[in-house]
Amino acid sequence: MRKNNIFIKWIVNIFFVFVALIALFPLISLIVSSFRPSSELMRNGISFSFVWSELSLRNYIHIFTESSSYWQWYGNSLIISTLTIVLSLFFSSMVGYALAVYKFKGRTIIFLSVLIIIMIPFEILLLPLYQLMINLNLINTYTGVMLPLIVAPVAVFFFRQYAMGLPLELMDAARIDGCTEYGIFFRIMSPLMLPSFAAMAILQGLNSWNNFLWPLLVIRSNDLFTLPIGLATLLTPYGNNYDTLIAGSVMTIIPIIILFIFFQRYFVEGLASGSVKG
């Protein structure tokens, strides 16, 4: 019986390793292609079909020495994504926490509104949001890109579900000790919500970092382009920028990997807890 269990575990492990390799195949192909010359990429595309002697660091050297616009786009994406993560976690957590622990008139209506907004595709909201940015004079600004993402309905829903499982007795004890409602949230409840903050930091960061359509509408100046928009401008019929495009795409993965490594300790716990609370 024990030998059968060990055999089954080996089969399961081999199966999941195989599935993981299939999932990683596009990423591995992209990384390998980033070391190939641009002319070779134009002939054969992104694939594992390559000649070892043609692989070099030429594409990365070009990015670090000659492609100043790329690093400007990189910096813009870092600034926008970092501010979006911080502001989204701050405001979304407060809204979700309030919907979970406080009883007030209109709470159900607000929560239903959040659910309805989640079900509406973002593309449908593009036109009214764009008109709003024009009225607020926020076109071609960082604020115009970040504003619609600061209070994300998905994040509000997630924080609300997680906060419903918090021990409310701590709030009563803190009030007896003279703690304010803001003090209760920031000093007592927020540390208990760390797994949810970590999970949302990764998801919101990934969404902001890869966001293409909304920044494309709002940003007009090349100096403010984010990475997805900037890399898209490198696509030409002649393929003379494929070296920067492929190597630059590989470099864009690094911040997301760092973000996941930093928060992965709480990521699975936060997703699991937030999905069952309430």
Give 118 or 262, the one with higher predicted confidence: 118
Q: Looking at residues 85-96, what average pLDDT do you find?
A: 93
Q: How far is CA 254 from CA 62, 68, 70, 141, in A?
A: 18, 19, 15, 25
Domain ranges of the chain: 1-64, 67-276
Q: Whole-angstrom Cα distance, residue 163 to residue 165?
A: 5
Out of 30-39, 130-139, 162-171, least confident range: 30-39
pLDDT of residue 27: 83
CB 150 within 8 A of CB 200: no
Give 43 or 155, the one with higher predicted confidence: 155
H-type helices in the chain, by residue range?
A: 2-33, 38-44, 58-66, 68-101, 107-119, 122-135, 142-150, 153-163, 169-176, 181-183, 190-192, 194-210, 213-218, 227-232, 242-251, 253-276
pLDDT of residue 272: 52
Return phi, psi of residue 51, to 5°. Answer: -110, 130
pLDDT of residue 47: 66
Give the side-chain half-sphere CA count within 13 A for 230.
24
Please determine, for residue 94, whether its predicted confidence score (pLDDT) is greater than 60: yes
Out of 122-126, 183-187, 271-275, least confident range: 271-275
pLDDT level of residue 240 (50, 70, 90 thresholds): low
pLDDT of residue 42: 67
Question: Is domain 67-276 in CATH 2.40.110.10, yes or no?
Answer: no
pLDDT level of residue 78 (50, 70, 90 thresholds): very high
